[in-house]
């Protein structure tokens, strides 16, 4: 089994911020599952094609076993922050060494 | 893998004016830095007002506090307008033109007053907070914080 099994993968947490300007958030091609949590005070709008959008209210999250290389995001007014938890498959060689206390 | 769906925010700061501006320092972990969120750019002159806007839809209540070396007045207002007067959807550029007809909280503050807190239940989709310097000198010390409660 190991980390190359289809159901395995290493999580990577990425922080982002969003404004009314539509921005693209890039993921790796090996990403097979993402979760996204709006950690700010404005609603976060998310789209995979810039045509259909869905909203993620403050403090809530959205996740899927989707194969996506990127997504688009914006707010209606003001700014918000978000965190992406991304699971990549088949990775290991390019990950930093983990120290004895768990910090990378 | 999944995040909690419990709508709790660690970063609940909605509007803030902190004068004199503190030095910019790295924030704790992944919280956003305070500097860009601090709206105070200069001392508030006598009779002058600061105004902040924010969407209210993600919160059930708003709470905050005042501290200043000059007397202040505070207004907490809401709007339920779905669009601006010109029909366009609400944006940063037109939010000031909405009909701010819902006065949710009003407060007078005197320097040194210990009862400097305020709160308001959400009455509309959009939030407006206005603070006016009622004193005869520019503010040399100002703290205005508005936080949102999601619960």
Task: Please list the rounded mean pLDDT of every run of 10 residues in chain B (151 residues).
Answer: 71 97 95 96 98 97 97 98 98 98 96 92 98 98 96 82
The CA distance from A42 to B126, in Å, is 11
**A71: Cα within 13 Å, side-chain hemisphere:** 27
Residues of A with CB below 8 A from B38's CB? Answer: none
| Identity of the residue in B5, B55, B89 whose CB atom sits nearest the CB atom of A61 | B5
Q: Which residue has the higher pLDDT, A48 or A98?
A: A48
The CA distance from A48 to A71, in Å, is 5
pLDDT of A49 over the 80 cut: yes
The CA-CA-CA angle for residues B71, B73, B79, to 5°, reads: 165
The CA-CA-CA angle for residues A95, A98, A101, to 5°, reads: 155
Q: Do B1 and A77 touch (CB under 8 A)?
A: no
Selection from B87, B86, B84, B93 nearest residue B125 by Cα: B84
Asked if residues B50 and B144 have their Cβ atoms less than 8 Å apart, the reply is yes
pLDDT of A7 over the 70 cut: no
Of all helices (H) and strands (E), which one includes residue A99?
A: none
Confidence of residue A101 (pLDDT cuts 50, 70, 90): very low
DSSP state of B83: B
Helix then strand count (H, E) for chain B reads: 0, 8
Asked if residues A40 and B32 have their Cβ atoms less than 8 Å apart, the reply is yes
Residue B91 in contact with partner chain A when CB distance is under 8 A? yes
For B37, the 3-state DSSP assignment is: helix
* Portion of chain A with pLDDT greater than 70, in percent: 78
Q: Is the ipTM of this complex over 0.95?
A: no
Q: Which residue has the higher pLDDT, A24 or A9?
A: A24
Residues of A with CB below 8 A from B4's CB? Answer: 37, 61
Residues of B with CB below 8 A from A20's CB? Answer: 91-92
Kindly list the distances between the CA atom of residue B139 and the CA atoms of A37, A89, B48, B71, in Å, as whole numbers in the listed order: 38, 56, 10, 9
Mean pLDDT is lowest, of A52-56, A91-95, B33-37, for: A91-95
Instruction: State pTM to two decimals.
Output: 0.89
| Identity of the residue in A20, A37, A83 whose CB atom sits nearest the CB atom of B92 | A20
pLDDT of A21 over the 60 cut: yes
The CA distance from A86 to A67, in Å, is 11
The pLDDT value given to residue A30: 74
Maximal CA-CA distance, chain B: 56
């Amino acid at each position: 089994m190991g980390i190359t099994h289809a159901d395995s993968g290493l999580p990577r947490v990425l922080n982002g911020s969003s404004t009314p300007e539509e921005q693209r958030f890039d993921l790796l091609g090996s990403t097979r599952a993402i979760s996204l949590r709006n950690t700010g005070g404005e609603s976060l709008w998310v789209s995979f094609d810039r045509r259909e959008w869905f909203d993620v209210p403050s403090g809530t999250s959205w996740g899927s076993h989707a194969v996506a290389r990127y997504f688009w995001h914006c707010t209606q007014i003001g700014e918000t922050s978000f965190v992406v938890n991304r699971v990549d498959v088949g990775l290991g060689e390019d990950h930093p060494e983990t120290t004895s206390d768990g910090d990378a | 893998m999944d995040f909690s769906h419990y709508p709790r925010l660690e970063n609940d700061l909605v509007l803030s004016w902190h004068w004199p501006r503190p030095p910019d320092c790295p924030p704790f972990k992944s919280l956003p830095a305070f500097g860009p969120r601090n709206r105070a750019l200069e001392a508030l002159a006598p009779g002058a007002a600061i105004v902040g806007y924010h969407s209210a839809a993600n919160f059930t209540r708003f709470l905050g506090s005042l501290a200043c070396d000059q007397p202040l007045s505070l207004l907490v207002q809401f709007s339920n307008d779905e669009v601006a007067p010109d029909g366009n959807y609400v944006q940063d550029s037109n939010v000031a033109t909405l009909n701010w007809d819902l006065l949710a909280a009003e407060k007078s503050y005197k320097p040194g007053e210990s009862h400097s807190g305020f709160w308001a239940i959400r009455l509309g989709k959009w939030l407006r907070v206005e603070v006016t310097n009622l004193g005869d000198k520019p503010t040399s010390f100002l703290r205005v914080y508005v936080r949102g409660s999601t619960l």
